[in-house]
Amino acid sequence: MTDSKYFTTTKKGEVFELKTELQSDKKEKKKEAVKKVIASMTVGKDVSALFPDVLNCIQTDNLELKKLVYLYLMNYAKSQPDMAIMAVNTFVRDCEDSNPLIRALAVRTMGCIRVDKIIDYLCQPLRNCLKDEDPYVRKTAAVCVAKLHDINAQLVEDQGFLDQLRDLLSDSNPMVVANAVAAISEILETSPTAQQVLEMNSSTINKLLTALNECTEWGQVFILDAISNYTPKDDKEAQSICERVTPRLAHANAAVVLSAVKVVMKFMEMLEANSEYISTLVKKLAPPLVTLLSAEPEIQYVALRNINLVVQKRPEILKNEMKVFFVKYNDPIYVKLEKLDIMIRLTSQANIAQVLAELKEYATEVDVDFVRKSVRAIGRCAIKVEPAAERCVSTLLDLIQTKVNYVVQEAIVVIKDIFRKYPNKYESIIATLCENLDTLDEPEARASMIWIIGEYAERIDNADELLESFLEGFQDENTQVQLQLLTAIVKLFLKRPTDTQDLVQQVLSLATQDSDNPDLRDRGYIYWRLLSTDPAAAKEVVLAEKPLISEETDLIEPTLLDELICNISSLASVYHKPPNAFVEGSKSSLRKILPPRSQSGNVGDDQPSPPAEAPSAPAATVIPGVDSLIGDLLDMDLGGPSMQQQQMYPPQPTSQTPVQGGGGMDLLGEGLDSLLGGPAPSGDSLGGLGDIFGMPTAQSYVPPQEVWLPASKGKGLEVTGTFSRKQGNVIMELTFANKAMQPMTGFAIQFNKNSFGLMPASPINIPSALLPNQSTSYSLQLSTMGAVQRMDPLANLQVAIKNNIDVFYFSCLVPMHALFVEDGEMEKRVFLATWKDIPAQNEVQHEICNVQHNADTISQKLKNNNVFTIAKRNVEGQDMLYQSLKLTNGIWVLAELKIQPNNPNFMLSLKARAMDVYQGIQQAFDNILHN
Amino acid sequence: MIGGLFIYNHKGEVLISRVYRDDIGRNAVDAFRVNVIHARQQVRSPVTNIARTSFFHIKRSNIWLAAVTKQNVNAAMVFEFLLKMVEVMQSYFGKITEENVKNNFVLIYEILDEILDFGYPQNTDTGILKTFITQQGVKSQSKEETSQITSQVTGQIGWRREGIKYRRNELFLDVLESVNLLMSPQGQVLSAHVAGRIVMKSYLSGMPECKFGINDKVLMDTRGRSNMDESSSRTGATSGKSSIAIDDCQFHQCVKLSKFETEHSISFIPPDGEFELMKYRTTKDISLPFRVIPLVREVGRSKMEVKVVVKSNFKPSLLAQKVEVRIPTPLNTSGVQVICMKGRAKYKASENAIVWKIKRMGGMKECQLSAEIELLNTSDKKKWTRPPISMNFEVPFAPSGFKVRYLKVFEPKLNYSDHDVIKWVRYIGRSGHYETRC
């Protein structure tokens, strides 16, 4: 007789039949009936109507039957709270049974019945069970506290269960300790108030480390995960914990290994970067990580996702283990894709030959996604390892010859990137690429091909024909392709103006008149006006030199990476997303962050230590992933730095004489006017341009004037003033007011030595005498060539003013932003490297309250004051602006501005080598943003 | 932690559904069925996030096991748990099939209740579970019995019960290695590693403490001096390299890891019966038992010639068994003629491969197979991707050079000594992924 028959009954009146069976006197029949009920419950039938009948079976000495009834109760108690209360007596009695298995069963089940009324009865039995003589009951009761906390946190705290739970950490039985730790970790995650009671300290950590050696594999995972949430008080403690955790790396259970890796990776941050112990740890971490790759594929997948993080954080750990990531023919696809990702990260000049041979092999496999990724990987190798670029390109050409449609398309997309990285090096292959024009049907590939044609239009004889062929179906193209085509044709026109006017007119009218896409239309108008007003400027804009692209892509943004490192082995590390991106509610709102490097024991070591990565580690470069990189590539005519330059120094309207191909241009101008079909006054067009570029608003912030020298102290002379920045100079705006009874003449000004070497660029020159009750304003240009002496506060400036009456002294504060220079824009790559390079303890946070602007306005406002936004990211719904600025004395300051939606308070983190400037800069940010 | 655990058949019907947490509703059961089991495309990841609920799944034959959660759980632990769950079920009722799951659903619920509490894995050792979760229903246990059970479930040595007695104390050690190889057509080793397992069957009385010695370089270097006599006499007999470099090893939870770390000794109290004592991995100095030399020539569009030479590379006195070479053929193969000097070769159309079987093959021998493959003309532009030639075999030695040096048994409380224990050691090398590209 088998139990599977219970799954098959589907007759009508089944419930009624079950009811009678449940009421049967025969024990066997009763049990059969309950089994049927459970089977129905499993397949999703509603058997809640049987609640009282099933409940009647609860009083039995048959443990199997009891368990089934309990299972039923757990499922339906919530829908029948009044009935469920009837079970309480049995629970309470069972909690005092002589058999520990029954005591534990009762307390375990009771915790799962989420009915408020039952909870009140649960407290006393639970309290007893936490002190039970049997460890099996205690370990079950420990978890029950977490269950109860989930239902009613306040009750748990009021009843003192937290204290009891904490006491269990000292239990003699390791499994009780492990379950207590699990419960505590869960409670801490949801309830910040429990912190005071359950806070881990070094003595509890010690107890845990002792229990670690003796408990089950799962218990070890709970303990290691709990330890990873602890922050050691100094590097010594961090090291001693690491020493006791590393033996776990040899455990057969992958979860134990990964949790140990998490603890080690996190605590390594606290150790001195170049210490010997770090290199020991690095050596110890590699083998267990590699071994995880021989586990079941699902475990491999989790391991690979985590290795991806480890490799980004500390590339030195696995730099010699490339081979183990080679893809096996039978690997599941998800393992293959992850391995490929890690292979690219580990690629270096040393192993490029092997990697390339592998990638070529993969590019002939069956799975389309995998093949595409492999082809893309070849391109990334070319960009990453310069000496191998040529080999990569020829491999890609081979692949294009296979004529497999998606291979060709993918190859063209990456070749475009290679052209960007190595301009003017591989144009010889363009002919081959052009042969495949017809087969391209994906927008990205088409756009890439068009970009290549536009970029090298002067070398492709039939570029006009090629582009024209794309133009035929302009309306049906993807926006990406349309934008690219527009730009490419304008490029072509600028390079070969004589025979391509028709084409450019055609595309401009298509873009501006027949399209309802605002991006396309705007770009079309910009080109149009540029071409019609100032072809030279157009050339400068459209054919500007492009910034080089970065070597690494897909890098996880550093703060996120650090957070993920703290979440190794967890779901967050699998998704590569912070926990609050997929966990509901305000739970786990506590972001896990890496501990700062401890300072104990290395006093006197003032120099900023070199970054943790070995020099061989590729400098992490641009933040954005593939998508944004591609966006950058295609849109650079508008969004790139070249354009920003334009924005700052608007093109001076030059003479109308065209520089090249004059006749063509004139013709075009007329043609365009007529095409626009109406009043298109050319004089207005520049204004329009200005509008688009937002020129009129580009003004830097000037604080209101304040009184520097009151008349009472200046013998009637009142000096008010402020500082501003104009045309790259610091300007001191002075207003002299004569409140005395006699005219004043012979003004002169002098500065004391100051922090930034400010001095008047020329003597003050007030031509006529300043009569009583008169005032005059004067803009004094300052230079920064003067003598330097550190002042306190830093921006303090001591000024002496002389006139025919006396010499007066006063001091004023130079607002720091007047010292931000125009070329303070760092390259992304440099920015990232610098950010990493500056020790973490130099980072200082400052809250800017009550700002009523969005990220874009802010970035514009700051830019007007020479604070440049290098990158903007959106992390977990908040905007992060990464900014750089440079002071007149060459000090670079990096800033990270965190803007949360609906929160007027921004968080500003500054990083610089000289921390003295922070205060002034924070002040400057405050002023600029509140202006 | 784990919020719920579901078992489905291949159609997506629920066989077992156990919910541990309130945040998992009944709709989660359906969400997995619709989005994963019934999904049109092959599943691309073992972890799926559907509407902020994460599903972890593994599949055994036709049965899906899925763990569900809404929290940021330890993903490695969830998969380890699912695998353990499979192991436990197998040890109770054999293969995981729909029929078996249905027949044992009460038992499965009972196990799930025991090994997962509020989503936290508890003791999952099958030996211990079987002492108090039985299919026969629970006999009423005496007080001593139950307290023994609970102390084992929670105990420090959770994998062994007290009071085991054997008339004959005996133990078996199997050194099982699987050799993995990826070779280029030119005979260059692209990657090779040995994944070894030591499986022990122990039939020992009492609570015996065991010490295990192997020829690992690190262990030998640190412990070598004390055991010099023993090791020199053994290695003299076996010849060849005396120690090997183990990249990494992992141990059963009975092995005292802290002792291994500090004293480089492997000591443990073994579970009763069969268990996997240790796993290890080596990549250096592997003696590859076979070498495959492929030669593929495409003769026009409709014919291919394949020649495969297999060379055995071990002592002539040893015999390899179950040798099988699998030569993939293109999908548009219409006919194959095979000639081989030894063994039997057949073209298996359903598997798109020529399967060449050799029952036994001595060391230092060479066999050859040649085949003509006729191809249908196809319009398919795409090139055939030529999967690698793979091999299966079994050899009576450890390709990594791994040697058991000693296994000593101490049981201070009972009156048997190390010498009274009968010990058996066996070495088997098997093929893992043993592939040569062609």
In this predicted structure, what is the pLDDT of residue A631?
37
The pLDDT of residue B84 is above 90: yes
R_g of chain B computed on alpha carbons: 26
pLDDT score at A678 = 40
Higher pLDDT, A54 or B161: A54
Instruction: State the average pLDDT over residues A768-788.
Output: 83
Task: Rank A69-73, A901-905, B231-235 by mean pLDDT and report only the highest.
Answer: A69-73
Supply the pLDDT for residue A46.
83
Work out the average pLDDT over B204-227. Answer: 77
Give the pLDDT confidence score for residue B381 in this predicted structure.
54
Interface contact flag, A575 B49, Cβ < 8 Å: yes
Spatial strand order of the sheet with B404-410 comes to B266-268, B209-214, B404-410
Whether the ipTM is more than 0.85: the answer is no
Q: Does position A464 have pLDDT exceeding 90, yes or no?
A: no
Q: Is the pLDDT of residue A479 over 80?
A: yes
Report the pLDDT value the prediction gives residue A11, as an integer from 0 to 100. 58
pLDDT given at position A815: 86
In the predicted model, what is the mean pLDDT of chain A? 82
* Exposed e or buried b per residue across B41-72, where buried means at least 16 C-beta atoms within 10 angstroms of its C-beta: eebebbbbbeeebbbbbbbbeebbbbbbbbbb
How far apart are the C-alpha atoms of B191 and B198, rounded to whole Å?
Answer: 23
> Would the pLDDT of B406 be above 50?
yes
> Judging by beta carbons within 10 Å of its beta carbon (0-12, 13-18, 19+), is residue A193 exposed, middle or buried?
exposed
Condensed to tens digits (0 to 9), the pLDDT of residues A279-296 reads: 999 999 999 999 999 899
Among the partner-chain residues A328, A358, A571, the one whose CB lies closest to the CB of B433 is A328
If pLDDT is split at 50, 70 and 90, which confidence band does A619 have? very low
- Residue by residue, DSSP assigns A625-649 as -HHHHHHHHHHHHHHSHHHHHHHHS
Q: What is the pLDDT of residue B16?
A: 93
Contact of A768 with chain B, judged by CB distance below 8 Å, is answered with: no
Is A380 or A79 the better-scoring residue by pLDDT?
A380
pLDDT at A642: 35
Q: Which of residues 34-53 of B touch A (CB under 8 A)?
A: 42, 44-47, 49, 52
pLDDT score, position A12: 59
Q: Is the pLDDT of residue A42 over 90?
A: no
Q: Please, which pLDDT band fits residue A590 given cuts at 50, 70 and 90? A: low
pLDDT at residue number A621: 37
Q: Of the candidates A38, A63, A365, which has its C-beta nearest B138's C-beta?
A: A63
Q: Which residue has the higher pLDDT, A382 or B44?
A: A382
Distance CA A32, CA A3 (A): 9
Question: Residue A630 above 70 pLDDT?
Answer: no
pLDDT of residue B257: 85
pLDDT the model gives residue B242:
78
Distance from CA of B261 to the nearest CA of A (A): 6
Nearest CA in chain B to A37: B106
Q: Which A-chain residues 528-587 have CB contacts (< 8 A) with chain B? A: 567, 569-575, 579, 582-584, 587
pLDDT at A572 over 60: yes
In this prediction, residue B382 has a pLDDT band, given cuts at 50, 70 and 90, of low
Distance between A196 CA and the closest CA of chain B, angstroms = 24
DSSP state of B35: I
Which of A98, A296, A329 is facing B83, going by the closest CB pair? A296
Reply yes or no on whether the pLDDT at B141 is more than 80.
no
Helix (H, G, I), strand (E, B) or coil at B432: strand
Which of A35, A150, A258 is the closest to B106 by Cβ? A35
CB contact under 8 A, B102 and A67: no
What is the least distance, in Å, from the CA of A448 to any CA of chain B? 24
Q: Is residue A458 scored above 50 in pLDDT? A: yes
Task: Name the minimum distance, in Å, from the CA of A449 to any CA of chain B.
Answer: 23
CA-based nearest distance A307→chain B, Å: 13
* A221 shares contact with chain B (CB less than 8 Å): yes
Across all residues in chain B, what is the average pLDDT?
Answer: 87
Q: Is B212 on the interface with A (CB under 8 A)?
A: no
Cβ pair B350, B328 in contact under 8 A: no
Find all residues with CB under 8 Å of A677, minimum gap 6, and list them: none
Please answer whether residues A915 and A842 qualify as being in contact, where contact means their C-beta atoms are separated by less than 8 angstroms. Answer: yes
Q: How far is A428 from chain B (nearest CA, A)?
A: 27
Q: Is B277 on the interface with A (CB under 8 A)?
A: no
Contact in structure between A466 and A453 (CB atoms under 8 Å)? yes
Q: What is the pLDDT of residue B54?
A: 94
Which B residues, 371 through 400, put their C-beta within 8 Å of a C-beta on chain A?
Answer: 381-383, 385-388, 390
Q: At B294, is the pLDDT very low, low, confident or very high (cuts 50, 70, 90)? A: very high
Rounded to an integer, the average pLDDT of A518-528 is 91
Q: What is the pLDDT of residue A687?
A: 38
Average pLDDT over residues B59-76: 94
pLDDT at A39: 87
Taking the C-alpha atoms of residue A183 and residue A140, their distance in angstroms, rounded to an integer, is: 11
Write out pLDDT tens, residues A15-30: 788 888 888 888 888 8
Average pLDDT over residues A797-824: 86
Q: What is the pLDDT of residues A815-844, one digit of tens each?
A: 888 888 888 888 887 788 788 778 777 888
Q: Is the model's pLDDT at B152 over the cut of 80?
A: no
What pLDDT score was predicted for residue B241? 57
Q: What part of B 1-20 touches A (C-beta under 8 Å)?
A: 1, 13-17, 19-20
| Separation of alpha carbons B40 and B47, rounded Å | 17
Lowest mean pLDDT among A8-17, A105-114, A621-630, B115-124: A621-630
Percentage of chain B with pLDDT > 90?
55
* Structure confidence by residue, pLDDT tens digits, A333-365: 999 999 999 999 999 999 999 999 999 989 888
In this prediction, residue B298 carries a pLDDT of: 85
Task: Provide the pLDDT for residue A438.
Answer: 83
The distance of B316 to chain A (nearest Cα, Å) reads 31
pLDDT tier at A645 (50, 70, 90 boundaries)? very low
Q: What is the mean pLDDT of residues B277-291?
A: 91
- pLDDT given for residue B135 in this prediction: 64
Whether residue B384 is predicted with pLDDT greater than 80 in this model: the reply is no
- Strongest mean pLDDT among A52-56, A507-511, A616-620, B238-242: A507-511
Distances (CA, A) of A591 to A566, A845, B309: 9, 16, 60
Residues of A in contact with B128 (CB under 8 A): none
pLDDT tens readout for residues A713-753: 888 888 888 888 887 888 888 888 888 878 888 888 888 88
Contacts of B155 in chain A (CB under 8 A): 173, 175
- Say if residue B188 is exposed, middle or buried (CB neighbours under 10 Å; 0-12, 13-18, 19+): exposed
